[in-house]
Amino acid sequence: MAASPDVENLTPDASRTRSREVATQVLLACSALLVLAVPFLGASPFFITLLTEALIFGIWAMSLDLLVGYTGLVSFGHAASFGFATYAAGIFAMNVSADFFLSTAVAIIAAAAVAFLTGLVVTRLSGIAFAILTLCICQVLFQISVVWRSFTGGLDGLIGVPLPTLFGREVEPGEELYLLTAVSLIVCYLLLRRLVESPFGKTLLAIRANEDRAAAIGIDVRRHKLVILIISWMTGGVAGTLFVFLKAGANPMSLYWIESGNILAITILGGIGTLFGPVIGAIGFIFIRDQVTTMYRAWQFSFGLAFVLAVLFMPSGIGGIAERIWRRLWPARSS
Amino acid sequence: MASAFLIEGLHKSFGALHAVNDVSLDIEAGQVHSLIGPNGAGKTTLFNCITGFLQPDAGKVFLKGRDVTDLPSHKLVKEGIVRTFQITQVFGELSARENVELAARSREGLNFDFFRKASACRAASEDAEESLEVVGLIEKAHLRPEELGHGDKRVLEVAIGLALNPEVLLLDEPTAGMSRTETERIARLVRQIADRTSVLLVEHDTEVVLSISDTITVMTQGRVIAQGPPEQISRDPQVQDAYLGAVEVGED
């Protein structure tokens, strides 16, 4: 029977895509449950603390993925979003209130303000120029944190940041702080997933592909870059807030360029443009670093080597490969 | 008829080179106005000046009587001045349909919608569907640009332009690198879309230009040397000398 190929293809296509979406949601829900269940599976306190740090880096890496993966803006200074927030939240928690929501709000607003100011300049640029200027701005913030001792504690950083409180109750370190982090990660993931699938999110893909073409369909390229930069920094701010509570302090090293390099490598290894990939990258990074640093000093060499090999042989990262396998399990087209 | 789009005394120099020198055009609503001239005549520079990709040194651009000279590209699109590119520049990783939907959502002012799913923007999807229908690409809408033939890619550019609901659509050499059959397809399409938008067409194929244009402007070295209906242009000795003759010699 010679049915029109379109009629034949379209409907099963749609239902296949639908079933893949459902399967994806089930998988995500299971992953979320697993993350939340970790403290109840008899994990050691050490493991819990390490995983807390990994999930914080996961939030931070997702925030960078918005720039690198979705908008094509490679930032070499993303430690700024995180490090700046550690100081904003830390200083607020030490002097005003350690309420988690308030501290997070302060850090997010402060990060957004700095992102806005930064963005006024950097959104004129793309490519290498963007990368270098973000690096410079981050180094400026690093210098300020070192020099302005009365406010930031200089090289010692902030010491003695209290534990956060949630609804007036102190969050205990370990399992409780872990759960707070896990919930933050899940909320950030869901919001950002929504964002990248929104009409706004799709304009970012257009900007990444070709800025002139994007402008020619009516997209205000600079404004969109500015907005995504602010959202990215705000998300980085959430990570910075959790980090300052985890470490009970802030340190200028959080603003150092090496941190910018680490988070960029984590995001690329994890798989840019996937959101979940960078989270996996972060978990991998934190645990491997923990294992390797105890074995030998030159662990950064092995990390660098792994990064080079990964960029050469799996440029789409862990997330990209996982997505490809997932697509093969739930093919969209019958072929 | 009312003039939909008016360009007055446009100038653009690059150093000592007058790429566009005192060019004026008057495009009436629903007309196909073609711009021809040898390579380096300043046609693409003029396009870039009109569409906000370059700042003209002097001159004005009016759309339906409003001065739109200094607006940036994305605002010109909102006003209704839409362009395509000489080299196909569609978004490679999106399907043909998604390419057009992106434009349709932009037109509906959804670029800053953060919370809805892009795929749930019904009106935009329907507009995109209609654009693809008009250009005859609907059956291939699920394909990605790389899976489309060269001709189809150029047609996709036109569909993206149409989805932005332009007052005037500027097509930069839509038949570049096309076979005869494909060229005829584009020519028919341009004529067909002129009932919904004015068209300013830059084109090298003189046969196409003479057959589908209402008005033709001939440029050489940045200047307009002739302007008028096809019959008049094809008889103009100056034009034959500067352009039409040269094409015959160099025809492949």
Q: In three state form, how does the secondary structure of A31-48 look? A: HHHHHHHHHHHCCCHHHH
Residue A335 has pLDDT above 50, yes or no: no
- Give the pLDDT confidence score for residue A311 in this predicted structure: 83
Strand partners, B223: B220
Asked if residues B100 and B156 have their Cβ atoms less than 8 Å apart, the reply is yes
Say which residue, A56 or A328, is predicted with more confidence.
Answer: A56
- Give the pLDDT confidence score for residue A135 in this predicted structure: 95
Q: Which of B48, B51, B46, B3 is nearest to B26 (CA)?
A: B3
Domain boundaries in chain A? 31-329
Length of chain B: 252
Among A89-103, A194-208, B183-197, B231-245, which is the least confidently predicted range? B231-245
Query: Quick one: DSSP state of residue B111?
Result: T
What tokens does A32 get? 């979320």
Q: How far is CA B2 from CA A245, A325, B73, B80, B140, in A?
A: 68, 59, 24, 16, 38
Residue B214 has pLDDT above 80, yes or no: yes
- Give the pLDDT confidence score for residue A6 in this predicted structure: 43
What tokens does A63 get? 């925030």
Residue B167 has pLDDT above 90, yes or no: yes
Residue B177 has pLDDT above 60, yes or no: yes
Q: Which of A295, A314, A307 is nearest to A262 (CA)?
A: A307
- Domain of residue B218 covers 3-80+166-249
- Could you report the per-residue pLDDT of B108-122, keeping only the tens digit for each? 999 999 988 998 899
Q: How far is CA B183 from CA A156, B43, B150, B179, in A?
A: 71, 20, 11, 6
Query: Quick one: DSSP state of residue A315?
Result: T
Interface test with B, best of A11, A193, A217, A221 (most B CBs within 10 A): A217
The b/e string for A306-327 (b: 16+ C-beta within 10 A; e otherwise) is ebeebeeeeebbbbbebbeeee
Neighboring chain A residues of B97 at a CB cutoff of 8 Å:
none
Q: Does residue B119 form part of some domain? A: no
- Using 50, 70 and 90 to split pLDDT, how confident is the model at A264? very high
The predicted model gives A62-70 an average pLDDT of: 97
Chain B residues in contact with chain A using a Cβ-Cβ cutoff of 8 Å? 51-53, 72-75, 77-78, 82-83, 85, 89-94, 98, 102-103, 105-107, 110-119, 121, 139, 142, 160, 164
* ipTM associated with this complex: 0.87
Share of chain B above pLDDT 90, in %: 57
Task: Find the helix or strand (DSSP H, E) in which B227 lies.
Answer: strand B223-228
CATH of the domain at B173: 3.40.50.300
Q: Do A203 and B103 touch (CB under 8 A)?
A: no
Q: Does residue B108 form part of some domain? A: no
Q: Do A200 and B114 touch (CB under 8 A)?
A: yes
What tokens does B168 get? 């005037």
- Give the pLDDT confidence score for residue B1 in this predicted structure: 47
Q: How far is CA A49 from CA A13, A45, A266, B131, in A?
A: 45, 6, 19, 55
Q: Does residue B161 form part of some domain? A: no
Neighboring chain B residues of A220 at a CB cutoff of 8 Å:
72, 74-75, 111
- Give the pLDDT confidence score for residue A286 in this predicted structure: 93
- Could you report the per-residue pLDDT of A124-148, keeping only the tens digit for each? 998 899 999 999 999 999 999 999 9
- Give the pLDDT confidence score for residue A270 in this predicted structure: 94
Q: Do B116 and A216 touch (CB under 8 A)?
A: no
Q: Does residue B86 form part of some domain? A: no
Domain count, chain B: 1
Q: Does residue B57 form part of some domain? A: yes
Strand partners, B217: B35, B227
Residue A276 has pLDDT above 90, yes or no: yes
Residue A322 has pLDDT above 70, yes or no: yes
Share of chain B above pLDDT 70, in %: 95
CATH tag for A31-329 (out of 3.30.70, 1.20.120, 1.10.10, 1.10.3470): 1.10.3470
The mean predicted confidence, pLDDT, of chain A is 91
- Could you report the per-residue pLDDT of B84-95, keeping only the tens digit for each? 987 777 888 889
The CA distance from B42 to B33, in Å, is: 16
The mean predicted confidence, pLDDT, of chain B is 88
Of A66-75, B91-100, B136-145, B222-231, which has the strongest mean pLDDT? Answer: A66-75
The predicted model gives A277-299 an average pLDDT of: 87
The CA distance from A72 to A65, in Å, is: 9
Query: Quick one: DSSP state of residue B137?
Result: -
- Could you report the per-residue pLDDT of A175-233, keeping only the tens digit for each? 999 999 999 999 999 999 999 999 999 999 999 999 999 999 999 999 999 999 999 99
Q: CA of A18 to nearest chain B CA: how many angstroms apart? A: 13
* B30 half-sphere exposure, CB direction, 13 A CA radius: 4
Selecting from B78, B113, B139 the residue whose C-beta is nearest the C-beta of A218 gives: B78
**3-state class (DSSP) for residue B3:** strand
Selecting from A197, A198, A217 the residue whose C-beta is nearest the C-beta of B164 gives: A217
Residue B158 has pLDDT above 90, yes or no: yes
Q: Does residue B238 form part of some domain? A: yes
Residues 216-235 of A with CB under 8 A from B: 216-221, 224, 227
Write down the number of H helices and E strands in chain B: 10, 10
- Could you report the per-residue pLDDT of A69-84, keeping only the tens digit for each? 999 999 999 999 999 9
Asked if residues B48 and A212 have their Cβ atoms less than 8 Å apart, the reply is no
How many Cβ atoms sit within 10 Å of the Cβ of residue B176? 17
Say which residue, B106 or A1, is predicted with more confidence.
Answer: B106
